[in-house]
Amino acid sequence: MAAVLLAVTGCSSTGPAAAGHGGTRASRSHPAAPTVRGITLPSWYRTDYDSPAAPRYLRGIRAAGARWVTFTPTWYQNGVTDTSAHRTEETASDASLRRIVKRAHAAGLKVMIKPHVDLPGDIDRAEIRPRDRAAWFAAYRRFITHYADLAAATGTEQFAVGTELAGVSGDTTAWTKVIEAVRSHYDGPLTYAANYDEYQHIRFWKRLDVIGIDAYWPLSDRPTTDSARLARAWTPIRTRLAAFAARQDRHILFTEAGYVSQRGSTTAPYSWTVSKQADTAEQAAAYRALLDSFEGRKWWAGVCWWMWDDWPNSGETPTGLAYTPRGKPAEEVLRRKWSP
């Protein structure tokens, strides 16, 4: 590993030093930070971040032991071949995003802004393959630098240049231009949130400050509440990730990780609908196994859990079956593992 210090990362970060822009970020680096302990608070509607529940949610995230919170303003494409995304009523307003960043800072939380581009219904954003890639990337640069400006203006501590865009993330030249554009608007540390089956195909990691992975690896072929068994399932994955971090000379941040509180959640962590049977014990075991497996690894930058909660009256998944750890044994796992 190089001796260049890693810039402060977005959810929980420690580990080896990272070079930066173009592999030569030493002059822009910041002191290494403690491992990111983060939780995502997504938005599904224009006014979510102005909800009366927002201050309560931020207090709950802080009380669970988190020191970072991730916000996800989202634009939408009508189809996978469209050449641009646009705001909808489901896009958090800029004013609400500014206000919730301010509230998060007042609550003692650092912030990562991780803008998303999504598709209608259940279509995976990884399916985006625009018919005119040059036009799509030009529009994407306008989209992402808009939020880079907002991040800079609000003192946001970390920024993601993209999330799970496997259909276009192979275009290294275009992403290099995206990253250069973002750096001209925002001077903080940057990541890209690659899906767990995408990260090895990314060729622009050394243009960024930290590798981001949405860590939804299946850990079991059947439901289990055995955290030791789940930790063993992490062992070969952890070995591969350690080697990848070494080759790239970067820390790895789990920009997302999470488990619904449903029976079988460890068999398909990426699924909102594994079953209709609640199982908070399996969720808690999965939280424990991940933290036991990775905390203290010098190359691991931490985790931003998906997700704290849906907004009142907006959740399509009942709270008792959803990703939220709030009020469940998984929250107690966080409190114990993340206690000062």
What stretches of 202-249 adopt beta strand conformation (E)? 210-214
pLDDT higher than 50, residue 96 = yes
Q: Is 126's pLDDT higher than 50?
A: yes
What pLDDT score does 3 carry? 30
Q: What is the pLDDT of residue 17?
A: 33
Of the candidates 152, 150, 147, the residue with the CA atom closest to the CA atom of residue 163: 147
Neighbours of 41 (CB within 10 A): 23
Q: What is the mean pLDDT of the chain?
A: 91
Contact status, residue 73 vs residue 120, Cβ threshold 8 Å: no
Provide the pLDDT for residue 225. 98
Lowest mean pLDDT among 19-28, 173-182, 246-255, 262-271: 19-28
pLDDT digits (tens, 9 = 90+) for 306-316: 999 989 988 88
- pLDDT beyond 70 at 79: yes
Instruction: For residue 204, give every residue at least 6 positions away whose Cβ sits within 8 Å of its Cβ, in sequence order, or none.
Output: 172, 175, 176, 179, 192
d(CA 312, CA 216): 26
The secondary structure of residue 263, as a DSSP letter, is: T
pLDDT bracket for residue 158 (50, 70, 90): very high
- Residue 254 bridge partners (DSSP): 213, 303
Task: Quote the pLDDT of residue 275.
Answer: 96
pLDDT at 315: 81
pLDDT value of position 33: 55
Residue type, 241: L
pLDDT at 165 over 60: yes
Phi then psi for 228, rounded to 5 degrees? -65, -40
Rounded Cα distance between 299 and 250, Å, is 7
Q: What confidence score (pLDDT) does residue 313 get? A: 81
Confidence of residue 270 (pLDDT cuts 50, 70, 90): very high
| 295: Cα within 13 Å, side-chain hemisphere | 14
Mean pLDDT of 36-45: 97
Comparison of pLDDT for 298 and 14, the residue scoring more? 298
318-332 confidence digits (pLDDT tens): 999 999 999 999 999
Find the mean pLDDT for residues 290-298. 97
String of DSSP letters for 12-32: S--SS----GGG--GGG----
What 3-state class would DSSP assign to 261?
A: coil
Determine what percent of the chain is predicted with pLDDT higher than 70: 90
Share of the chain residues as helix, strand and coil, in percent rounded to the nearest 5 = 35, 15, 45
CA distances from 76 to 50, 93, 121, 306 (A): 21, 14, 11, 20
20-34 pLDDT per residue, tens: 333 334 333 334 457
pLDDT tier at 161 (50, 70, 90 boundaries)? very high
Out of 32-41, 87-96, 294-303, pick the least confident.
32-41
Q: Is the pLDDT of residue 264 over 90?
A: yes
